């Protein structure tokens, strides 16, 4: 598990499709990666819960109850919001309430990753030294950062994934999902700084909803559609590939991402057509799913984005060139 090589495979599944013995090597690598995530992420009880479908109701109940309790205690949750100016989600579910719950979840995930990656990086470096994969005794921070910058195009363009032949259709699904997440992250970051920065303006804070003509809104809608279509294609592709096994660990991430995309777009569409009660309910579900994505990210398959990126960066830093 302390070997960076298991993360260099882009897991397109070609090896399982072509294997004459039907040994399913892609499934083996996926299983080792899953155990690696569980090994490095702390606390272990949460890592194990993420692999148990029976624990899913409990995991989702945490944010569901958290939002309600914090909202009722602080008064930032209003079940009878003023709708004289139309449906506005922030009047039902204050932006302050959202960030009071989301930021600690994000900080928790970042702290878990920091501790996990410290061990992971140390282990893969020791493994590389032991197997003669590198001649560098220590990891020099500046050089490592430069190596990370060099691999960014490979990640964004999915260059390795494009080398797939038997399962090339998976490339489109992965790219759409990746770009969807990146776009939504950019939109969320812009909204966060604009909203809180606007408190300095004489006219007061700039709450949503933003105009559909706003370029940021365009990016949000395009990214949301990309996320939905990308994850829908993943569901279709995985369901049709009988030579590759998909576990609950895989399906959890795919359906979580799909649910976030559907509820996000659903909250907006129901708002636009004037279905206040439905829109507020869908928005609440959306927030629960987003919180779960953030807080449980180091324990889910989505953590492969971080571990794979670190492994690819180390590989580039070591000068192995593959």
Residue of 207, 253, 259, 217 whose CA lies nearest to 99: 207
CA distance 310 to 317: 10
SS (H, E, C) 239-273: HHCCCCCCCHHHHHHHHHHHHHHHHHHHHHHHHHC
Q: Which tokens belong to 311?
A: 């492994």
CA distance 292 to 136: 39
Domain ranges of the chain: 4-318
The one-digit pLDDT tens for each residue of the chain (322 residues) are 788 888 887 776 677 777 777 777 777 888 888 999 999 999 999 999 999 999 999 999 999 999 999 999 999 999 999 998 899 999 999 999 999 999 999 999 999 999 999 999 999 999 999 988 888 889 999 999 999 999 999 888 876 666 677 666 778 898 999 999 999 999 999 999 998 998 888 877 888 788 899 999 999 999 999 999 999 999 998 888 766 678 899 999 999 999 999 999 999 999 999 999 999 999 999 999 999 999 999 999 999 999 999 999 999 998 876 5
* 32: helix, strand or coil: helix
CA distance 157 to 321: 17
Peptide bond into 200 cis (omega under 30): no
pLDDT tens digit string along 178-229? 999 999 999 999 999 998 998 888 877 888 788 899 999 999 999 999 999 9
Whether the CB-CB separation of 36 and 307 falls below 8 Å is answered with yes
């Amino acid at each position: 598990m302390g070997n960076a090589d298991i993360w260099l495979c882009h897991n397109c599944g070609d090896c399982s499709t072509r294997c004459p013995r039907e040994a399913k090597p892609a499934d083996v690598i996926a299983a080792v990666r899953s155990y690696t995530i569980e090994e490095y992420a702390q606390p272990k009880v949460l890592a194990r819960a993420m692999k148990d479908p029976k624990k899913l109701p409990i995991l989702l109940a945490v944010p569901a109850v958290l939002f309600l309790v914090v909202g009722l205690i602080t008064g930032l949750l209003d079940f009878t919001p003023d709708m004289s100016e139309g449906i506005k989600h922030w009047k039902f579910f204050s932006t302050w309430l959202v960030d009071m719950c989301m930021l600690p979840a994000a900080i928790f995930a970042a702290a878990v990753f920091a501790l996990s990656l410290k061990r992971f990086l140390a282990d893969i470096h020791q493994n590389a030294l032991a197997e003669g994969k590198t001649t560098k005794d220590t990891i020099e921070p500046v050089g490592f950062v430069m190596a990370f910058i060099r691999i960014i195009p490979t990640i964004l363009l999915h260059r390795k994934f494009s080398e797939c032949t038997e399962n090339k259709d998976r490339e489109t699904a992965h790219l759409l999902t990746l770009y969807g997440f990146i776009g939504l992250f950019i939109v969320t970051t812009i909204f966060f700084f604009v909203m809180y920065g606007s408190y300095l303006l004489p006219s007061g804070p700039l709450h949503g909803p933003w105009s559909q003509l706003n370029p940021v809104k365009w990016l949000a809608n395009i990214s949301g559609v990309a996320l939905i279509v990308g994850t829908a294609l993943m569901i279709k592709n995985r369901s049709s590939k009988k030579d590759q096994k998909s576990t609950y660990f895989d399906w959890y991430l795919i359906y979580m991402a799909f649910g976030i995309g559907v509820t996000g777009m659903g909250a907006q569409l129901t708002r636009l057509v004037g279905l206040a009660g439905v829109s507020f309910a869908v928005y609440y579900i959306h927030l629960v799913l987003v919180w779960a994505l953030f807080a449980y990210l180091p324990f889910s398959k989505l953590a492969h984005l971080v571990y794979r990126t670190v492994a690819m960066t180390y590989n580039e830093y070591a000068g192995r060139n593959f």
